[in-house]
Structure 1
Amino acid sequence: MSLAIGDRTVHLPLELTSFVGRRTELADAKRLLGTHRLVTVTGIGGVGKTRLALRVAADVAHTFTGGVRLVELGDVHDAWKLIGTLAESLALEITAPSLDDLTEHLAAQRALLVFDNCEHLVDDVAVVVGKLLRVCPDLRILATSRECLGIGGEATLALRPLATPDCHCPSSPSGLPSYEAVALFADRASAAVPGFGITEDNQFAVVKICQRLEGLPLPIELAARRLRALSAQQILEHLDDPCCFLTLGSRGAPARQQSLRSSLDWSYDLCSAAERCLWEVLSIFEDGFDLDAAEAVCAGYATSGELLDVLTSLINKSIITPEQTRGLVRYRMLATVRHYGLDKLRATDRHTTVLHRYRDWFIKLALHADACWLGSRQVELIDRLARERANLYAVMSACLDEPRDAPCGLRIAIALRRFWVTRGLLDEGRHWLSHARAHQLPGRSFAQVTALCAESTLAGLQGRSREAFDLLAEARRFAALNLDPGVGQLVLRAEAEVSLATDDATAAAALFEITLEAIDASGDDTARLEALTGLGRALGHNGDLESAATYLQEALVISDAHGESVNRAVAHTALAAISETGAPTRAAHHLEVALHLTRQLRSPVLAADLLHIAANLTADRHAERAAVLFEAAAAWQHRVGRIPTGAPANLDDVRARTTLRLGEREQSQAQQRGRRFSLDQAVAYALGEQPDRDERCTRSGDLLTPREWQVAQLIRQGSTNKAIAETLVISQCTAQGHVERILNKLGFTSRVHVAAWLTEREAVDPEAVLEVGWRGR
């Protein structure tokens, strides 16, 4: 298309479908283009690079007196055709044009060139672009490629998939279009099936489709086209093999965009032999990998140095994405990219070898974490196990599917037992322990008894006493037939833990005392430490506070000597509980130490107990704060499916007094706030680090005018600027101005954030939101 703007000419194709989302990326691209002469938009195929670049070019076209030209390279497969294609885009009527001809033509022009789909000619495009920029001072170039051009002065914008709802997404269908992936699906779905809308009946399936496709625009659009023949739920059920299912692209689209497989084939064909090999091998990882795991699995296919080079190349080509957290880089593939690579791997003779290396590495990791549990690297090991959950579960599943490997699956499950307790994964732990036991050959092995004891402890923490004691009874029967004396001690310790978890503290104290005598002879510091903290907690529940404190302090000495954190946190939690009535200052000290440790451990089990204690300590001074903490504690107990063991005995009385001191509205608001806390937010609030949520919401809300409140509510409903303008009978330009001011006032960069903020504020003070909204009408 050639469009005249004043004395400028814009050669860009018209958009055939609506442009959805990408507000932040559009702003970033424009900003980069204003400060850099070369901007390359990178990303995996199907992420929307071309659409973004064309929209950016159209938005800034008025600033280029020399016009805007699109140079489409997708169908240019020979380097020698590059100059001719560029000359054709510039409408130069020159026979056999040279690069010098092009630079002479552009030398004095303030123009924008959009080089689209450069990845298959990246070296040649880099040479041409480099020469143009060196000779043409007012030229700007916006490129799209699956990898950057790699020349001096280049700014890159890595385009990520669209935002998708997480597990805390709004329950109302009206709020879902605030997520860009859902908005795109809904838009394309309504084109495929007129009248389609997100309803309570289909919202779950729509959200899961967007999550399974990880917000990638191309597969989302391909999935939406399937609505002509299938329901959203049926589409979801077919996404186990997305490459085979997502095939109905637009006839007018390039061949590489006709199906998901075609898009991935294009990327695969552009890789070297070494890159293809590692793409396939690294696809064995279920949910990302660290460098040491990659080195183990890729041994023989690449040296450490070669692996890092090829890994970097795959990152540059948008096949692998690096993610940095807490100073550690982890590598991940999108699920569609991984499934494609895994299909390729299964077709090679490398598959069996790679699978065995993958299995052996994670068996070794689980056993190492269990053996080194009592040590200064405990938090690091817990974090590592958390990162590798999906890989560990995949290996367990593979082991249990093979009878000869089933004992390895049971060993992994046993090795993870303490991790599951610490991270509050009680249902997961019980599932895998039960599943692993069911796949063993008949027998009465030590491992079988250990698994039964571990499962009974998890059941006890959930408050399912009958199930816990049934498992213990089975463990006792197995132990009676086993000649190893350690088996009986194992069952005794488990019975003590279950008794404590199910509120039989008297029995628990007696059992812990017996186990301590046997442990003293064995020299097992881990077992001794756990028995000491167990006995201290049990005595505390029984009211023997002095003895309880003695045992807990002894536990702290052992814990400190080893530099571990879990039992230290448990001991400080118990010391806070037994000190809160008679020594609140001492209780506050133990509470603070335990909260900091719990934040490092990310343990919801401990956090729930600590939040109860914190609420109890503050109830007489700050009723509202106590109500928030009580509700946060209850919410986290519910999420992990357990009954608290560290809560004070007078908890019900304290909660009742708190409720009486607050009005109905204040009590409801406090409960909603506490219920919505993440684990980090809850711990921070208990430590007094987080500002009061009501005050933050009120401060932000007071900045908005009544009209801006109305616009914010329309944003939450997923309205575009055009729809906002039509609803409020204002110009589209005015609507855009309101949106910009709202984002600036609230300090947000995305409409999604505005929608989430408004939902949160409405939960805190629904009447105020309603009042302000109506005031502007």
Structure 2
Amino acid sequence: MGTGAAAGTFAGLGGFDAELTPLIGRRADTARIARLLSGARLVTLSGTGGVGKTRLALRVAADAARSAFPDGVYVAELADLRDPELLASSVLGTLDVANPGHPGADPAAVLAARLRERRALLVLDNCEHLVDACARLTDALLRAAPGLRVLATSRQPLGIAGEQVFPVEPLPVPDARAGHGLRDLNGNPAVALFVDRAAAVLPGFTLTRPDAAAVAELVRRLDGLPFAIELAAARIRSLTPQEILERLTDRFALLTGGSSVAADRQRTLRALIDWSHELCTGRERLLWARASVFRGGFDLESLERVCADAELPPAALLDALDGLVARSIVNCRHVRGRSRYHMLETVREYGHQRLAASNSLDALRGRHRDRYAELTARAGREWFGPRQVDWFTRLRLDHPNLRAALGFCLERPGQARAGLALAVSPRHYWMTAGLLSEGRHWLSQLLAADHAQDGGDGDSRGDGATGPETAVRVHARVTDTYLRILQGDPDADVRQALAACEAAAEQGGHRRESAWVWHHHGILAVWREDYASAAELFARARTEFRALGCLDAALECRVKFAIAHACGGEAAVAEEACGEVEAAARTHGESWLHGMALLARALLALRADAPADATTHARAAIARLRPFQDWWDVAMCVEVIAWSTRNDPRRTARLLGVLHLLWESLGGRLGAAPFMRTQHLRLDATVREALGAAAFDREFRRGARATVDEAMAHVLDDPAGVPGLTKRESQVAELVAEGLTNKDIAARLTIAQRTAENHVERILGKLGLASRTQLAVWTYEQRGGPARGPRRRGLAERSPAD
């Protein structure tokens, strides 16, 4: 172990080295830390390596040196100090005290004496490898010097009384679901950091439209970790953003070349993570590697099932997990009253490489697959009941783990059959979660792999050439075909697929799958508006499901029976069926089928030309269906509401835009509900004629460009969410309507001109408008006043950035 002392920095009254690069995206953090420091005597900035703790601490200290600490701010850099016995003398050196006094004097006592009467700030930087020693020294100094404040940075809190821990998070990254507009991306802290550091090595570099998507994905893949982003930006000398992104498959080889004056551990991404790894105990390192098989997060029960064994028993695993959380290797948050853990992707990938090197990767991935096969099977068994929403939420949280488990089954020979069982266990998941395309991807890939690996259980075409297929294969094929139906695949193709499924089910004696085939034929009959045949097919499937004891499937057929009769005008029969489903749903605490029954009632009211009742039922259905993210059936409800609001053409046009957003997000089209296509197209034409093309397009864009929450606000007629303007954005819209420029608005609201510009751009985007003049007209219309232009001449010619 090294014995050299740190070269501590004397800061005095603000004598800090000048910052060589700007601190980006941390203004709110510096303000919060300063507030903490004004009330607490010890504040520790904790977080993973490379997150920017040191830069943040130095900025806070530099700001504080100007006013809050008249007797000085002292910075002790401890990264190179290895011997805890030298800690006090090293910190003493930062006070510019070369000699602790007389020979044999205790450096800690001398340090306490020097600080006793001072109102000073002591920064202890990089304490994680000396946590115990730093804790003892800090406690002694705070007790001896009442005017002293300590600001520490550490991957692990010091753990002493009075400590306030401030977790330093990675920089926010762009939302993967949002677009890649240059203004929004340039305002994102992680992107701004990349652009700033890239421009430092390649003068003139700016974010351009061709590079926008690659840069956004790059900073997302790097978890918003500042150190990793800076290393990636340094590669811009010789690689484009897209090329850097493509090479992130081995981020530790790519992200090297940090500052030549930095410590060795701060020159490469691997060295930075190596430092954290060295600080861990043997069991913590083992758990780090094993836990890397999880994607997106995990809970304690899953961690124990996958990672515990004789080498790492459950009690030791819990201690190791606690240590990894304390060292900022694993992050913990609480979801629905339960602890959930995750690692940054960079940290996870490091552990994954360690696991692969230990030759344990396949075994751990197999245990991981088994765990999620067990969970999905249990979710399938308990789906029909009071825990339905809980199970859906759990599966959505663990969706990355499901993907990883399914991927393992595809990659490893002989595992496709297990993958099929995993993919079909939560039968409703792909439908209710709106993951139609992804469900089809996994099912088709696994069916093909299983056929290639087939040892004689039949082929994937269901032609009976080699004997009957297993139930799981037939189940997978039937489910895949249903997803194709919901996405509006050509009728002839799905009919052929259903015929093959029916033959395979009959040959194998798989009665449940035969019943599902009849159900799916019923859906096709609804599509072609043959409601009588549809009702017969649903009734036939229901009878078989009841005989098999499948109550949930029988009720699903019953609610589809109700929908068929509602569309066909058989109101009394449909009402009776809806009542049966609702009563059973209430008895069993079920939500999803209850929502479907309410949709059937909405269709009944629409058919009876009772728009108010139709809207009421459709909104009630959405309230049941939305927690499942069942956007397909939500879209059906929105179709009903749009038709019911046809006397308000502006609102209807917005709802048509929302429908475009929903159908497009599902990977389908209006043809996915062809029995409503004629009505939809007629409504579109009527509203377009009533508003005129320009006004229709403007309102349609408002709906189509909305976020999910804004779209649902349009649907549910929630004024606070239509069109989703914040209070400040509403103020800005009013000032634009008064004819103020961005500079005027900035002065009026006491904000930066750039902030005002961003507000205007965001408002125009939310409202689907193209100019300030259109915004002014819209604002006056919202007030209920005359649609008139802004007061100032020439404003119509101004750009949004003026």
* Fold agreement, TM-score > 0.5: yes
Deviation of 1:647 after TM superposition, in Å, equals 5.0
> Structure 1: 5+ residue runs without aligned partners?
715-733
Q: Does 1:474 align with 2:500?
A: yes
Structure 2 letter corresponding to 1:568:
H
Change (3 A) 1:467 1:250: farther
Correspondence for 2:37: 33
CA distance in 1, matches of 2:10, 2:418: 70
Q: Deviations over 1:13-47 (max 9, x none)?
A: 22222222211111111111222221111110001
Q: Where do residues 626-665 of structure 1 align in structure 2 (5 Å cutoff)?
A: 626-642=652-668, 643=670, 645=673, 650-662=679-691
Q: Rate the CA distance shift 1:194–1:648 in 2: closer, same or farther, 3 A.
A: closer
Query: CA deviation digits over 1:446-487, x for unaligned, max 9?
Result: 222222211111111111134322321322342353344444
**For residues 43-82 of structure 1, what are the structure 2 equivalents within 5 Å?**
43-63=47-67, 64-82=69-87
Residues 694-714 of structure 1, C-alpha deviations (whole Å, 9 max, x = no match): 584663315769999636999
Equivalent residue runs for 1:599-618 within 5 Å:
599-618=626-645
Q: Is the 8 A contact 2:8 2:76 kept in 1?
A: no
What are structure 2's unaligned runs of at least 5 residues? 1-6, 459-468, 777-794
1:320 equivalenced with 2:324 (yes/no): no
Q: What one-letter code is carried by the residue in structure 1 that aligns with 2:108? A: L
Q: Please state whether the residue corresponding to 1:439 is helix, strand or coil.
A: helix
Q: More deviation in 580-589 or 183-192? A: 580-589
Residues 165 and 179 in structure 1, CA contact (< 8 A), matched pair in contact too: yes
What SS does the corresponding residue of 1:634 show, helix, strand or coil? Answer: helix
Tell me: CA distance 1:735–1:347, structure 2 relative to 1, closer, same or farther (3 Å).
farther
After superposition, residues 21-420 of structure 1 pair within 5 angstroms as 21-63=25-67, 64-95=69-100, 98-300=107-309, 301-348=311-358, 350-420=360-430
Contact 1:607-1:683 at 8 Å conserved across structures: no
Whole-Å Cα distance in 2 between the matches of residues 396 and 302 of structure 1?
A: 26
Distance 1:291 1:665 in 2: 56
SS of alignment partner, residue 333 of structure 2:
strand
- Give me the whole-angstrom Cα distance separating, in 2, the residues matched to 1:522 and 1:545: 29
Query: Is 1:577 the counterpart of 2:603 in the alignment?
Result: yes
Read off the aligned partner of 1:251 and give its amino acid letter.
S
Q: Distance in 2 between matches of 1:88 and 1:593?
A: 70
Match of 1:453 among 475, 478, 481: 478
**2-structure distance, mates of 1:385, 1:677:** 26
Which has the bigger relative contact order, CA under 8 A and spacing at least 6? 1
Structure 1 residues 244 and 774: CA distance shift in structure 2, 3 A: closer
C-alpha distance 707-245 of structure 1, shift in aligned 2 (>3 A): farther
- Match for residue 677 of structure 1? 706
Q: Which amino acid aligns with 1:634?
A: H
Match of 1:719 in 2: none
**d(CA) in 1 for partners of 2:237, 2:748:** 35
Structure 1 contact 43–318 (Cα < 8 Å) conserved:
yes
Q: CA deviation at 1:672?
A: 2.6
Q: Assess, with a 3 A threshold, how the Cα gap between structure 1 residues 504 and 211 changes in structure 2: closer, same or farther.
A: farther
Decide whether the 8 Å contact of 2:79 with 2:125 is kept in 1. yes
Structure 1 CA distance for aligned equivalents of residues 510 and 693 of structure 2: 60
Out of 722, 727, 731, the residue aligned to residue 700 of structure 1 is: 731
| Cα deviations by residue, 1:392-414 (Å, 9 ceiling, x for unpaired) | 12112212333432211111112
- Counterpart residue type for residue 536 of structure 2: A
Q: Are 1:438 and 2:448 an aligned pair?
A: yes
1:491 equivalenced with 2:479 (yes/no) = no
Distance 1:487 1:122, change over 3 A: closer
Deviation of the 1:675 alpha carbon: 1.8
Report deviation, 1:61.
1.3
Q: Distance in 1 between matches of 2:346 and 2:259?
A: 20
1:735 and 1:699 mapped to 2: Cα distance?
A: 14
Contact 1:456 1:467 in 2 (8 A): no
User: SS state of the match for residue 148, structure 1?
Assistant: coil
Tell me what 1:738 maps to.
Answer: 751
Shift of 1:758: 4.6
1:586 is displaced (CA, Å) by 3.8
- SS of the residue aligned with 1:150? coil
- How far apart, CA to CA, are the structure 2 residues paired with 1:472 and 1:774? 56
Contact 1:623 1:658 in 2 (8 A): yes
Per mean C-alpha deviation after superposition, the further-off stretch among 197-206 and 73-82 is 197-206
Q: Which of 682, 696, 702 is 1:667 aligned to?
A: 696
1:566 deviates by 1.5
CA RMSD of aligned residues (A): 3.1
Deviation at 1:119, TM superposition (A): 0.7
Q: CA deviation at 1:582?
A: 3.9
5 Å-filtered alignment, 1:7-26, equals 9-26=13-30
Could you state the TM-score of these two structures normalised by the residue count of structure 2? 0.86
Matched to 2:275, the amino acid is W
Identical pairs, percent = 34
1:452 is matched by which residue type in structure 2? R
Deviation of 1:299 (Å): 2.6
Shift of 1:118: 0.8
1:352 is displaced (CA, Å) by 4.6
| CA contact 2:10–2:94 (8 Å) conserved in 1 | no
Question: 8 Å contact 2:10–2:96 — kept in the other structure?
Answer: no
2:576 is matched with 550
- Look up the SS of the partner of 1:41 in the other structure: strand
Q: Equivalents in 2 of 1:759, 1:58: separation in Å?
A: 40
Query: CA separation in 1, counterparts of 2:389 and 2:235?
Result: 46
Q: Does structure 2 retain, via aligned residues, the 8 Å contact 1:627–1:667? A: yes
Q: Residue by residue, what CA displacement relative to the aligned partner does 1:188-220 show, whole Å, maximum 9, x if unpaired?
A: 111122222221222221111111101101111
Give the count of matched residue pairs.
747
Cα displacement (A) at 1:139: 1.5
Q: Distance in 1 between matches of 2:136 and 2:97?
A: 20
> SS of the counterpart of 1:609?
helix
Partner residue in 2 for 1:720: none
Amino acid at match of 1:605: W
Deviations along 1:41-89, one digit per CA (max 9) or x if unpaired, are: 1110001111111111112211121122211001111111111211111
Name whichever of 296-305 and 229-238 sits farther off: 296-305
Cα 1:735/1:688, change in 2 over 3 Å: closer
Deviation for aligned residue 1:313: 2.5
Mapping for residues 713-724 of structure 1, pairs under 5 Å:
none
Q: How big is the shift at 1:341?
A: 0.9
